[in-house]
Every structure is written in structure tokens, then in C-alpha cells.
Structure 1
């Protein structure tokens, strides 16, 4: 979770607690919304990171396959 999302999560928890303490439903809901947004942003970052890793793995695998084919044509098979 990025620093901004951690702050938003903490502020959201505080708002929820204050909303409960002062029986302020709007403040409590606002805190919940902050926490949800922080968690959604964190999940989106995780998905992006996973996609980037998959893309890098696929690119590397493709480059290896191209080298294998090239080596076969050159008569130098890789081991």
C-alpha cells in the first residue's frame, strides 16, 4: 500500500471511530468510504504489478524462444 493510501486508510479509521463515538453516521460513512478507496487503490496497484511481472516474463520467454530458433538456424543449439 502506498503512503497516500496508508494515510487515507488511517484517516478513514479515525473518522469511523469519531463517527461512532459522537453518533454521527455521516462521519462514520465518510470514514468507511475513505478506507474502501484506499483498499481499492491498493488492489489496483497489486493487479498492475502482477500484470507488469507477467508481461516481463512473457517478453523474456519470447526472447528466449527467438534465440533458440536463431541458434538452430546457425547450428549452435543452446543447452
Structure 2
């Protein structure tokens, strides 16, 4: 989670807690929204990281297979 996301999550928690304490439903919902957005961004970052890892691994396997099929054993 990036610094901006951590800040957004912290602000969201504060808004949510303040909304509860003041019995202000709108402030509480705004806090929940901020926290959810920060967590969604974090989840998206993790997905992108995993896809990148899988793509790199697949590319390595394809390259290895290509090397095996195209090498000339007669040299």
C-alpha cells in the first residue's frame, strides 16, 4: 500500500470513528468509502504484481521451450 493509500485509509478510519461518535451517518459513510477505496487500490496493486510475476514466468518458460526446439544438436 502506497503512502497516499495509507493516508486515505487513516483519514477514512478517523472520519468513520468521528461519525460514530457524533452520530453523523454521512461522515461515517464517507469514512467507510475512503477506507474501501484505499483497500481496493491496494488489492489492485497486488493483482498487477501477481500478473506481472506470472507473465514473466510464462515468458521464461516459452523462451526455454523455444530454445529446446530450435537448437541444432548436429553442431
- Structure 2 gap ranges (5+): none
> Deviations 1:32-77 (Å, cap 9, x if unpaired)?
0000000111111111111111100010000111111122xx117x
Alignment of 1:26 with 2:26, yes or no, is yes
- Structure 1 gap ranges (5+): none
After the TM superposition, list the runs of 4 or more consecutive aligned residues in structure 1 that deviate by more than 3 angstroms: none
Query: Across the two proteins, how many residue pairs are aligned to each other?
Result: 74
Question: So what's the TM-score if we normalise by structure 1?
Answer: 0.88
- Give the root-mean-square deviation of aligned CA atoms: 1.1
Question: So what's the TM-score if we normalise by structure 2?
Answer: 0.93
